[in-house]
Structure 1
Amino acid sequence: MCTALTLSTKDGYNLFGRNMDLAYSFNQAVTLVPRNYEYRDRVTGEMRKNKYAILGMASVIDDYPAFADAFNEKGLGCAGLNFPGYFYAEENKVPEKKNIAPYDLMPWILSNFSTVDEVLNEIKNIELVAVPINEKTPIPTLHWIVADTNGKSIVIEKTKEGLKTYDNPIGVLTNSPTFDWHLTNLNEYMKTTPIQPENVKWVEKELKPLGVAMGTKGLPGGLSGVDRFVRIAYLKSKFQVAEDLLSGVSQFLHMLNNVAMPRGAVISEGSDDITLYSSCMCQQKGIYFYSTYNNNGVSAVDMNKEDLDAKEIKRFDYIDTLTVKYQN
């Protein structure tokens, strides 16, 4: 499942992150890939080097950093979200295209580009090909949100109709169906408001709100991708811009919590989908903040405190145990 979000603060910081909704752990940890790290392209067999250092949540499979969400040293961020029923990858390489496996799209973007405009200039030359990382790992069915430090955001989707990019004026993403459908669906909720309605009179009966938040009546409350898209878009549209970075991170995580999945609320194929973690990246400062299902405190890794020219991938402990601060 999953929900992605972008925000900005009054003091000029851009925030980017997501909820990871999944029924199982994928050996995830905050992972730093240094500049010039070499790994083998599974489609072409060639060795590749990344131009920029990358920090994000990933598993490492056969020395390959499989990122779920990440950003690079220039502040360009990317997240892959489940896109079931719509995602399509070519079975064979396409001539005259740069052929990339779906799991490699995010590292390719973050390794090479610093802005959304740079991505748009090159994305038209690529094709997604159904090549797995290894025999044990299925090909992910994803679409992607990309955002930069200028506040620009796009969505990338590959369906049977081809590879498409969409300008993302709302700065959010969830799951299926296609992004253009989600944008059109928002028109159904244009009267939703945080403002309490005034009393009205029907014949001789005065009607008044039964409580607060009556202006949000009709706002979807479910946990489907469609409902979460509407809800997170509404929350962002009414967002009171945070004064500074830390208040922005707090607001960001509160908004993601509004569309999070507690255990037992969603059961898929006999297993509980939960929000494994929520991430929030400060794109200008290079800090990756996150909280987990079992630890709603905030942990953080600062990219700029690390050697970005190191030779090996560095992984940081995944802090998933609740710490309680006793006051007596």
Structure 2
Amino acid sequence: MCTRVIWPDAAGAVLVGRNMDYHRDTRTNLWLLPRGIARTDGVGGALHWSAEYGSVVAGAFDMMTVDGMNEAGLAGHILWLAESDYGTRDESRPALSMAIWLQYFLDNHATVADAVAWIAETGVQVVPLGDPETGEVPTVHLALDDAGGDSAIIEYIGGEATVWHSRDHRVMTNSPTYDQQIELLKEIEGFGGTAPLPGSTGAVDRFARAAYYVGRLPEPKGEVEAVAGMFSVMRNVAQPFRIPDPDKPNASQTIWQTVADLTNKRYVFDSTTRPNIVWVDLDKLDFAEGAPAGKLDLMGDVALEGGLAGNVSGRFEETAPLRFLELRS
């Protein structure tokens, strides 16, 4: 479920595409979060901070950041990884709830390198939280990318963070773990092997197709062509709608897609169940400390009927900041 792809040389810009694949609607809205918002780690621990950078994020159920970018050009993406093992909580280590994990980096870091260094210095843990509606406990990994084209994949295996940090790590899907994905890609023609490019919706096959096609995109003439090119790759690795299979109750479909231009600070959102693409120009937003937070309602009648389209930078409605799901005592 889910795919993330970086195009680091799109006519001088760094673009990243992401598909959100899930077995039910995540009721996603977009949030404008200015600098200076005070937050805590969500697990009753010692981490407290005020956001150094403003951000625009896509939420899940209005209680978790699953995608987004900040005003410095750092972006992040939460994807599913069944093998994730966050370990037993160690009270001597700092920790972040899964709901606020990505938001911490958007609030506090401008580059992937800075974020990776913080992980190494702190030994931070991630604490999984159950969905309050279903009880399901997600198992996820995190991708970070920045306007310099840098990339990192963070996976928790055996309770410790494994960080794959390199500009070469352009693609991320799901299982197996990232080290195995890299080895499997070597079997494909064009990446050192002889196997033909695969065509299924499985994570390994999507990884191969995304890597293949993003490396063959034509040079765009401008930003519009660049965004269109990135969407063309994401649609190739999207999950189609399907009839429910009783043997696979959690089989996913692509419910929305994003393309973030980390250089020009534009965040583009495309729902597969809404009629129009919308985008936000971060340089047109007020991220000043003390400025109000805002919410762009993508679930209401206005969005459903096509009333949201194109540049929606001025359509955020003032509201209280996103409230993150916290660990219940």
TM superposition score category, shorter chain reference: 0.7 to 0.9
1:70 is aligned, of 44, 68, 71, to 68
Q: Distance in 2 between matches of 1:173 and 1:316?
A: 28
Q: Which residue, out of 245, 251, 264, partners 2:229?
A: 251
Shift of residue 171, structure 1, vs aligned partner:
0.6
TM-score, with length taken from structure 1: 0.82
CA–CA distance in structure 1, aligned partners of residues 85 and 304 of structure 2: 34
CA contact (8 A) 1:55 1:70 kept: yes
The answer to whether 1:93 aligns with 2:90 is yes
With over 3 angstroms needed to count, the CA separation of the structure-2 counterparts of 1:4 and 1:162, relative to structure 1, is: same
**Does 2:270 correspond to 1:279?**
no
Q: Which amino acid aligns with 2:49?
A: R
Please tell me whether the aligned partners of residues 26 and 61 of structure 2 are also in contact (alpha carbons under 8 angstroms): no
Distance (whole Å) between structure 1 residues aligned to residue 265 and residue 244 of structure 2: 33
1:140 matched to 2:118? The reply is no
Q: What is the aligned partner in structure 2 of residue 222 from structure 1?
A: 200
1:294 touches 1:322 (CA, 8 Å); kept in 2?
no
1:56 alignment partner in structure 2: 57
Determine the C-alpha separation between the residues in 1 that align with 2:110 and 2:24.
32
Q: Show the counterpart of 1:209.
A: none
Report the Cα offset of residue 270 of structure 1: 2.9
Instruction: Give the whole-Å Cα distance in 2 for the aligned partners of 1:8 and 1:139.
Output: 34
User: Are positions 1:178 and 2:156 aligned together?
Assistant: no
Instruction: Please give the TM-score of this superposition, normalised by the length of structure 2.
Output: 0.82
Equivalent position of 2:14 in the other structure: 14
Superposed CA offset, 1:182-207 (max 9, x none): 111111113479xxxxxxxxxxxxxx
Question: Which residue in the other structure is 2:216 paired with?
Answer: 238
- TM superposition shift of 1:40: 3.4
Q: How far has the Cα of 1:306 moved from its partner? A: 1.9
Calculate percent identity across the aligned residue pairs: 23
Q: Is the 8 A contact 1:266 1:273 kept in 2?
A: no
Distance 1:223 1:262 in 2: 9
Match of 1:106 in 2: 102
Gaps of 5+ in 1: 194-215, 324-328
Give the deviation of 1:100 after TM superposition: 1.7
Displacement of 1:31 after TM fit? Answer: 1.2
The answer on whether the counterparts of 1:293 and 1:320 sit within 8 Å (CA) in structure 2 is no
Aligned to 1:294: 273
Q: How does 1:111-122 map to 2 (within 5 A)?
A: 111-122=107-118
Q: Distance in 2 between matches of 1:142 and 1:6?
A: 19
CA contact (8 A) 1:42 1:132 kept: no
| Residue of structure 1 in register with 2:315 after alignment | none
Q: Name the CA distance, whole Å, in 1 between partners of 2:131 and 2:49.
A: 18
TM-superposed deviation, 1:88: 1.1
* Distance 1:294-1:27 versus aligned 2 partners, 3 A rule: closer
Q: Which runs of 5+ in 2 are unaligned?
A: 308-329
Q: Is the 8 A contact 2:185 2:191 kept in 1?
A: no
The superposition leaves residues 143-172 of structure 1 with CA deviations (integer Å, 9 ceiling, x where unpaired) of 111111111111111011621101341411
Aligned to 1:44: 44
Secondary structure at the aligned position of 2:100 is classed as: helix
CA distance in 2, matches of 1:253, 1:275: 13
Shift of 1:316: 0.9
Superposed CA RMSD in Å reads 2.7
**Once the two structures are superposed, what CA deviation does each residue of 1:272-294 show, in whole Å capped at 9, x if it has no partner?**
62211110011122211011112
